[in-house]
Amino acid sequence: MERTRDDTLYPPIEPYESGMLDVGDGNLVYWEVCGNPDGKPALVVHGGPGSGSTPRSRRYFDPDRYRVVLFDQRGCGRSTPHASDPATDMRHNTTAHLIADMERLRDHLNIDRWLLYGGSWGSTLILAYAEEHPERVTEAVIPAVTTTRRSEIDWLYRGAGQLFPEAWAAFRAGVPETNDPAGLVAAYARRMESEDADVRERATADWCAWEDAVLSMEAVPGPPPYGSRPGREQLALVRICSHYFAHGAWLEEGQLLSRAHRLTGIPAALIHGRFDLAGPLITAWELDRAWPDATLTIIDDAGHMGGTETRRAVLAALDGFAGNR
């Protein structure tokens, strides 16, 4: 199928198959498949963590050439139990669990190998999965590269406060029980486990206000990306984000970069905005140097959420890989 312009997404499509996969620990993970049943398999790995998949992601793939799989990671989207419910046990929601879920989904769909696409937190999960199972990955397309090092978390929730001091002061004031600026994420994670619904809702609002402040310089039309989410989705997102980031995503510091040699032989397109304040360019640059088969494209006029040039680069990469089997 052809697009009319090089920055236009493919037309909307609907799944031809979907389901709820039992991944253990009482969790059911929502999945769907669209495009060509005989096409090149590709998995969309959403961000957040806890954002859930979106129909728009389907439109980056040529539906005539790709068999596109989307899923909602544990605790968010249409997966159950939902993290917005305080009774949901977060002990069974870790990076290792998500990697195992992806493998279980691949096996369930009888896919031998697949292309991986996703950015932000999705890129961290892609890298963790690919380094664990390199034989299952054909290519990767990663906009907005992150590896969730503790240094990256510290920048996002403390260092960036140098650019938005008034917003960061409000973010810090949301957890007055801690005197340690480096402990803000853990303090928010504890608040999201409170039995008091008001405490959880206030922490969610404060967290989302800070995230929106960091993205506020990006000229992306529409409402603020965090504060405009429905309440239930906000609660799940902040609970999962704070849970993961308080634990450094259960990764050794720098693990994904130090093990990047395991990705040798996997072609990858890394696409990153030069003024990405949520995930500074240095991480993408370091990953490009560590991954022998990766190519980094820097978009000079884009930030974390991308824009026209980012979209063009992603579409070009996915179109380019579509003929590989």
User: Which residues partner with 268 through β-bridges?
Assistant: 140, 294
**SS3 at position 268:** strand
Which listed residue (51, 79, 120, 242) is catalytic? 120
Contact 184, 175 (CB under 8 A): yes
**SS3 at position 269:** strand
Cα–Cα distance between 287 and 297 in angstroms, integer? 12
Residue 148 tokens read as 């969730």
Best CA proximity match to 212, nearest among 162, 159, 277: 277
Best CA proximity match to 40, nearest among 16, 65, 18, 59: 65
H helices of the chain, in order, are 95-108, 121-132, 150-157, 165-173, 184-191, 197-214, 231-246, 255-258, 282-290, 308-321
Which listed residue (62, 101, 206, 276) is catalytic? 276
Residue 304 annotated among the catalytic residues of the structure: yes
Query: Known catalytic residues?
Result: 120, 276, 304
